[in-house]
Structure formats: C-alpha cells, structure tokens
Amino acid sequence: MRSQKLSPPVIVLALLCVMYFLYYVDRVSISTVAPLMKVDLNLSNAQLGVAFSAFAIPYAMFQLIGGWLGDRLGPRLTLTICCAVVGVATVLTGAATGLVSLFILRLALGFGEGAGFPTATRAMASWTPRGRWGLAQGALHAFARIGNALTPPLVAGLLVFSSWRGTFVIFGAVSLLWLIAWAWYFRDDPRKHPFMTDAVLAKLPARNTAAARKIPWVPLARHILPVTVLDFCYGWTLWLFLTWIPAFFFENYHQNLQSSALFSAGIFFAGVVGDTTGGLVSDHLLRKTGSLAIARRGVIVAGFLGAFVFLIPVVLIHNLTVTAICLSLAFLFLELIIAPIWSVPMDIAPQYAGTASGMMNFGFAVAGLVSPSSFGYLVDRTGSWVVPFIASIALLFLGAILAMRLKPDRPFVEEPVS
C-alpha cells in the first residue's frame, strides 16, 4: 500500500498539482492587490482590465504553439522553461511602475503559462491510466482552485509585513523552486524512470513516440472545434471570477481588503469541490455505463446549467449574503465542467494530447482576451458591477445547449494519405 501511494505516477501527479497551484497563485494574485495597485500606479478600472487581459494575448497563442512544443520537445524540458519564465515574470511584477510595464510583465507571464496546461495534459496522457483521466484532471484543476482560494488570504497576510510588490517577489521565487524538483524527477517516457516498476507500467497507456513528429493541424482542429467553442463559453465566466471577484466585493459591497479576500476565498473553495466532484463523477459514470457521451457530456451540461441558474440572483438581488452564496454555488457548478472538458481531448486524440488540449484551451484564452477588459469597461461606463454578469449568464446558457451536441465518443482518425 505504501509503495502504491508513492509510485512514480502518483508523485508526477502531485508535482503537476503543485504546478497548477503555483500557476494560479502567480496569475490571480494581481486581482487581490488590484485596489492597491490602481491607486499606487494611478490606473482606472478600464486600464486595469487591459492589464488583466494582456496575460491572455500570448496565453492564447501559446495554447497552440505550446501544446505542439509539449508534444515535440516533451513535458520535461517544456515545463522547465515555462516555469522559469513564470517565476521571473512574477518577481519582476513587483517592480512595475505603470500601465506599460505592468502590461509587458503580464504578457511575459502569459508566455510562460500558455504552454503549461496543454503540456501537463501531454504528461498525464502517458503517466495516468486511461480510466483515471477525469480524476487526474479534476485533481489538477482542484489545486488550481485551491490556488485561487488561498491567494486572497495569503496576499492579505503578506501585506501585514510587506507591500504588494513584495508579494510578487515571494510567489515568483517559490515557482522557481518547483522547476528544480520537476527537472530532477520527471521523465518524458515512464519506462525510463529509475523508480518505475513493471506492475505500475503495465497499467499505463501504450506510448506512441512517433505520433508527435508531424501534427495534422487542420483535421485535428476541425475535430476539436466544438470543444474549443465550449471552452470559450466556460472561460468567459471563469475569467470574471479570477480577475474581478475581490474588487467586486471591495467596491460594490464596500468591504475592506481583508473581508473581500475572505469572501473571494470562500467562493474559490467552492470551485475546489466542483473540480474534484466533476472528475470523480465523470470517471464513475464512464466505469458504470461505458459511455463517454454520458460521462463527459452529461457532467458538462449539468455544470453549465447550474452556473446559469445561480448567477441570475447576483443580477437581481443586491444583498451581500445572497450574492456570496449564489456566487459560490455558481462557481461550484461552473467547475464541474473542467475535468470532463479537459478529458475530452485525451479521449478523442490521445496521441496528440498536448496539441489537442491546446487547441481546446485556445477558446478559454480568447475569452481571457475580451472578458476581463469588457467587464472593467462596462463597470466604468455603466457604474454597475452586476450588469456585466448578464453576458456570462447568456454564454452559460449557450454553452449548455452546445454541450448537448458534443461527441466525446467520436475519436480522431487521421485522414489517409493518397
């Protein structure tokens, strides 16, 4: 039992969970200190939204390029380079002097994180048994939401004895430590790991080392496109939660920074429950029914509909308690989506898992380009913090309808060369 818990696949999953945690701490810490940065750097909400969106420009591009790099160069080298960029960019954010420098550093962070998640999926396709892909994706994204949840109180605690600039230095330094552990322990091919056993290796998927040499870009993109559109619908609302929720409580309900951090942490912890539940339920349904359509599509539809229902009271009722509860429930249902939707590229194109998941997450990245800046613009233009949620409600309903047509059980088959 002890060796099973400490087997190389478990340790690799644990390392990737820590990476997801750190990536989201580095990404969303800016939203907690945003009210302080806005005053210190003399920024408006619209300008702050532009800085938030800067991250998504290279992030979107590197979903495609980064996924290919992960397939081509291997997860070991790719993630080592990515985390080095993330750590340095986060440290230097503490030295930002205005909108231009903040914009450039958020661009750099987007470059570093862009290839991270598709490449991690590439690693999981080789290091996780097929029947546990949903659980693994759920665990990874649960740690991302733990990062979301803990970042506001962590930042609030650090601000007691440090400035907002110092928090970025601390978070970036920890990320640089992670890459050392990853480069030392991980191997692209599980068979080459010094602690691998034949019993554990027999449970892992067969490795196709030749598949990544030439990517069928256009046919694969056409096959992944429905999932990409769904990821955009999901991503629009997630970006609002990641970038604006602390400021929403701070300005719309006039909470102080510490109270805003606690409310935000409660909402993000609800996402941890959603991530874990979505992965467990999806894999359970797959084992019970043998149907990918039920296991993946069913959970995704339920997530979209639940988030749609619980965001409506946020628009209609101005009450702190009601809003906090409804936002938590909306985020819980929203996060039911993440494990099954990230499992779909692995289901339909396991030999191109890095590239396919990058194509899917391109939709999420595009949402990140427009969602945070649109929210900030609408807040400045209308003076209302709830009006921008209407777009999220509409896209959640659209996502539920489109998800009903998703076909995760239709594998990608390369077109024969004549």
Cα(311)–Cα(308) distance, rounded to whole angstroms? 6
For the chain, domain boundaries: 8-204+215-403
What DSSP letter does each residue of 179-214 carry, written as one string?
HHHHHHH--SSGGG-TT--HHHHTTSPPP-SSGGGS
pLDDT at 70: 83
pLDDT at 416: 54
H-helix or E-strand spanning residue 77 = helix 75-93
* Predicted confidence (pLDDT) per residue in 107-118, tens digit: 999 989 988 888
Q: Which residue has the tokens 């749609």?
A: 308
Beta-carbon contacts of residue 151 (< 8 Å; ≥ 6 apart): 24, 25, 28, 29, 32, 268
User: How would you write the pLDDT of the chain (418 residues) with one tens digit per residue?
Assistant: 344 457 899 999 999 999 999 998 998 888 888 888 888 988 887 888 788 778 878 888 887 787 788 888 889 999 999 999 999 999 999 999 888 999 999 999 998 998 888 899 888 888 988 778 888 888 998 898 898 788 888 888 898 888 889 999 999 999 999 999 999 999 999 989 988 888 888 888 766 544 445 778 889 989 999 999 999 999 999 988 877 887 788 777 877 767 777 787 889 889 889 998 999 999 999 999 999 999 999 999 999 999 999 999 998 988 989 999 999 999 999 999 999 999 999 889 888 887 888 899 889 888 887 887 788 788 888 888 777 889 899 999 999 999 999 988 888 876 654 4
What's the pTM? 0.78
Q: In sequence order, what E strands does 206-273 have?
A: none
Compute the half-sphere exposure of residue 22: CA atoms within 13 Å on the CB side of its CA: 28
* Predicted confidence (pLDDT) per residue in 255-271, tens digit: 776 777 778 788 988 98
N-term to C-term CA, the chain: 52
8-204+215-403 topology per CATH: Growth Hormone; Chain: A; (1.20.1250)
pLDDT at 418: 44
Angle at 148 between CA 235 and CA 392, to 5 degrees: 30
Q: Exposed, middle or buried: residue 221 (CB in 10 Å: 0-12, 13-18, 19+)?
A: middle
Q: How many CB atoms lie within 10 A of CB 160?
A: 7
Q: How many CB atoms lie within 10 A of CB 413?
A: 10
Phi-psi region of 42 (alpha: psi -120 to 50; beta: other; left: phi over 0): left
- Both structure tokens of 286: 């797959």
Cα(81)–Cα(70) distance, rounded to whole angstroms? 11
